[in-house]
Chain A
Amino acid sequence: QQQVKQSPQSLIVQKGGISIINCAYENTAFDYFPWYQQFPGKGPALLIAIRPDVSEKKEGRFTISFNKSAKQFSLHIMDSQPGDSATYFCAASMGSWGKLQFGAGTQVVVTP
């Protein structure tokens, strides 16, 4: 049973547009929510992460919105660029630090 549900499975957005990826979780013990970017044949790279005591975190063009009561969090990629074309994974971790549960992933394609 997947502990973190991610949608959509894939996303096509025009250059300059906003990419939005959503994740939901059930386990309220999760206390760390990172987003990873993965290019084909490479390991995941940390983009941005948030903890439940914060509702929003922004780093450059990437923003995480966190809704603790709804047990949902989302990634917004502003001003999407072709170089952002990759697979994005949300994840969650609790207690045992570093043991991540991953969402299914979203393949983002940014068209020129």
Chain B
Amino acid sequence: GAVVSQHPSRVICKSGTSVKIECRSLDFQATTMFWYRQFPKQSLMLMATSNEGSKATYEQGVEKDKFLINHASLTLSTLTVTSAHPEDSSFYICSAPDRGPRGNTIYFGEGSWLTVV
């Protein structure tokens, strides 16, 4: 079964509003999680590194005030798209590395489709 869960899987929001996407590691603790963005038929682009208990680290070109990341606990990171615009419509995916007994493995969530209308 899934070890990294994202919610919601699909969300539609109006332009100008904010929307929150959650990423949870289900049976392991993740001090670090990663947020990616993927446009149709394209690769995954790393947006930011979410760090538990500290500020997120953003990749070059990613607006930190627009994509707010909070890593409130060892199993939960949230991505909030603020003042969303149609161009923010995309597939957002999180990942979390598991350094536990299963071995060092990076698991991805199922992704969240965001449509801004």
Contact = CB atoms under 8 A, between A and B. Distances in A.
Interface residues of A, number: 23
Nearest to B111: A43
Given A43-B111, A89-B43, A100 B106 contact: yes
Contact of B32 (A34, A44, A98, A105): A98
A104 B44 CA distance: 8
A50 B45 CA distance: 22
Contacts of A99: 34, 46, 49
Given A36-B108, A44-B108, A100 B43 contact: no
Contacts of A102: 43-45
Contacts, number: 58
B43 A104 contact: yes
Interface in A20-34: 32, 34
17 contacts: A36-B108, A41-B91, A41-B111, A43-B93, A44-B93, A44-B108, A46-B107, A93-B106, A96-B49, A98-B95, A98-B97, A99-B49, A102-B44, A103-B43, A104-B42, A104-B43, A105-B42
Interface of A: 32, 34, 36, 41-46, 49, 89, 93, 96-105, 107
Interface of B: 4, 6, 32-34, 41-46, 49, 91, 93, 95-97, 99, 104-111, 113
